[in-house]
Structures are given as C-alpha cells and as structure tokens.
Structure 1
C-alpha cells in the first residue's frame, strides 16, 4: 500500500497502548479493510503482555497483508519467527497459513525503540464470516477485558469471535489434517456450541456497525437470537 491513507474510525486498546486507525480509502480496492496500527512499545500495558504471544491462527478464506512503516514487528509463520522492518515492504500471509504477529518488546528492548507502526489489511471475500472491522472492534475490546480488567480467558468466547472473524485457532502441526480439524472445531465449538451456551461473537457495546453484526449473526440458527437490531447499548 502506498500514498497517504485517509483515516476514519479509531479503535483504542490497552488503554492507549495500541491504536488502530481505519483507512477509509485504501489504495487497493480489492481489500476487505485496511488499518494503520500503532504499538507504543514502552506503554505499561504493552510491556505487561510482551511475554504472552497472541493465539496462533489461520484464515481459510482471505490473504492477509502486513507492511511495517516504522520500527519493527515480530511475526511467526508456520513455526518460524521473523522480525519485520520497513525495508521488507508488504508481506503476504496466504490462506491456511498458521501465523501471529506481536510486539517485539522484551525486557532487554532498547529504550530508544518507542513505536511500531504498520499497515494491516486482507483481501475481499464473499464469505459472511471474515476479517473486518466488526470483528476487530470486538476482539480488541475482549482483550481489554483480560489485559486491563483482569478477566480470565474463555476459550469458547475466543473461538466464537474467531469463527465470526474467519479465523481459527491452530492445532499442533503433527496432528493429521490439523488445519481441517481446527476449522471444524472452530465452527462446531465456536459457532454451534457457543451459540447454544449463550456466547455471542459480537456485542452491541463494542460494535459501531451493529446492523452489520446483526446480519452476520442472523445467518446462523445458533446465533440469530443475539441479533437484536433495536439494541442501543
């Protein structure tokens, strides 16, 4: 992605440690979304979770794109870690690729390294459940409940949100057909069982475009009861 982005909605997480600005006019029209993301590496909330990597996962329906603009960013792809810098340009994660990205902060991080800024986007897809702003708003907000408010991670809630965002938690690679099995588990546990047990993939209090969230949930018999379009809170 090149040129100056047009910035729209701002999503704040970790009490300002992570800021995501929605690019309303991405330079690639075939992208489902585009974000300008900033990590404040010395922010106490970012430092506090530096040793805890986010879930390893994959997206079966979308390519994901990443380009570091400032500083560096750690990525793990199929078990191999790499530190990305601006000179690397745009990096692509093909569908079904196990990956995760995270702050490069460690206890020995140079104090002069204060910021990481990068562009994040993914290709468009006709799939209903996919990476988009509805997913990221809810996922960041849920992480805030854990990091800021100290709530425990609920695996079914994570799987419910991930499935609705076209994302699935990776299983160990030595398991036969691990990605197919992980995909099936994401749907069965996250969408079906989660819906029966009362887990919502999206919440009104965290969602700007609630009508879109309701439309997605209405398409699942297990989640349509959560799609109350009259909700204001």
Structure 2
C-alpha cells in the first residue's frame, strides 16, 4: 500500500480491479482485447484483438512504444487484418498469409494496426524461451494492461516509473529510435524503475489483483535482477 506522500507525489489507482483469474481482459479505452491461451504444445500465447472502430486503433496508436526484449525472441502470427511492425529501421506489413513474424532479442520494435487494414486486427503473440524468471510473459501483460485500464477508470495518467518497473522485470526496455548499447538502456531503466519507481515511489513490479498466482513469486521480488 502506497503511503500518502507517495500517492501525492505520484498518483495511482486507489483500487485495483481483480482480473487475475479472467481468461480475457480489455485494454484502456477499449482499444484491444487480450485473451490468454495455452497451445497444445504447452506454450502460452496471447491473442490480441485491436478494434478497427476505435479511433486510437485507426490512428496506429493501440500498440506499445518502441522497445527491446533482451532475453527472448518475440513472435507474431496474424489471424485477421493487417499488422504493422517497426523492426529496427524497417517497417514490416504482415497478414495471415505471411505466417509467423520473428523479432530476435535486442531488436528495436513496435507494432500497430496498419492503416491498410479494413477489419479488426487479430493476432497471436508470444515469446521464447518460456518459463524464465523476469521475462516477457502472460503476467507482465496482465499487470501492464490491468494497471493502465485502472488508471483510465480513475482518470489518472499512468506513471512512467510504474510502467518502466513492470517492463524492467520482464526484461523489456524502452528505446529511442536510434541504436544505443543495450547495457546503457538497461542501466538507465534500472535507476529509474528500481531506485525511483520501487524504492522512492513505492511501486511494485506485480500486483496480486492482476497476476496469475502460479507465476507471481519471481515477479514480486525487487532483487531478482
């Protein structure tokens, strides 16, 4: 529980919506639906549906900012519509016919519903290897999406320190659009996320209201990395 001075210094939702057991959750402003699935081979995947009728989606803003996963390869598989992916300096446009799009570790990337699409964008996304501590996984997405939706409900701007803390403990870092050594990006994010976000402002990397119980232990430790 945040102290009063931390709440004053960096406002946050007074109440977190319990979504840990929900098989699907809505993003802030209803831009996208996240469905948490397990494939026959045991892999977790998330099916995202970005709604074309939403102006944020049509504006190409329903996906994340430019970022890097430093431990895992990320995969996208479109089921409907058109996805745009910025992969380093190259824009990739993909549909169902293009199969799986691979984003290797260390690649600057972001994704969005491409403007050429005329229907909802539906795709599966996952990262490998799976089962790592502090990795991009289902629980990161549950925390990241759940927190931002609760901020929207209470008309609060999401804290960049909270978002960076959640991302840091999923081995994900924000990045500028130009190349920069990953060790510098990790170091800067560590200071802002852990020193400022966690120790000064009292944020957590994960919350039980959002987090799937079976993977909550490692994400709740601020000393894991």
Match of 2:209 among 200, 205, 213: 205
8 Å CA contact 1:76, 1:82 repeated in 2? yes
**C-alpha displacement of 1:9:** 1.6
Whether 1:162 and 2:162 are equivalent positions in the alignment is no
Whether 1:132 and 2:137 are equivalent positions in the alignment is yes
Alpha-carbon separation, structure 1, partners of 2:62 and 2:49 = 18
| Change over 3 Å in CA distance of 1:125–1:219 after alignment to 2 | farther
8 Å CA contact 2:73, 2:103 repeated in 1? yes
Alpha-carbon separation, structure 2, partners of 1:94 and 1:28 = 21
8 Å CA contact 2:66, 2:177 repeated in 1? no
Match of 2:187 in 1: 184
Q: CA RMSD in A?
A: 2.7
Match of 1:5 in 2: none
> Which stretches in structure 1 are left out of the alignment for 5+ residues?
1-7, 223-233
Alpha-carbon separation, structure 2, partners of 1:116 and 1:126 = 28
Alpha-carbon separation, structure 2, partners of 1:72 and 1:28 = 27
CA deviations on 1:23-73 (whole Å, 9 max, x unpaired) are 22x2444x4x212221111135544x6457621111111111001111111
Query: Superposition pairs for residues 5-16 of structure 1, below 5 Å?
Result: 9-14=23-28, 16=30
Alpha-carbon separation, structure 2, partners of 1:193 and 1:127 = 25
Moved more, 121-130 or 159-168: 121-130
Whether 1:196 and 2:195 are equivalent positions in the alignment is no
8 Å CA contact 2:50, 2:113 repeated in 1? yes
Match of 1:23 in 2: 37
Question: Could you tell me the TM-score, scaled by structure 2's length?
Answer: 0.77
- Paired residue secondary structure (1:137): helix
- Paired residue secondary structure (2:36): strand
Match of 2:112 in 1: 102
- Paired residue secondary structure (1:58): strand
Alpha-carbon separation, structure 1, partners of 2:222 and 2:198 = 12
8 Å CA contact 2:162, 2:205 repeated in 1? yes
**C-alpha displacement of 1:80:** 2.0
Question: Could you tell me the TM-score, scaled by structure 1's length?
Answer: 0.75
Match of 1:227 in 2: none
How many residue pairs are counted as aligned between the two chains?
A: 203
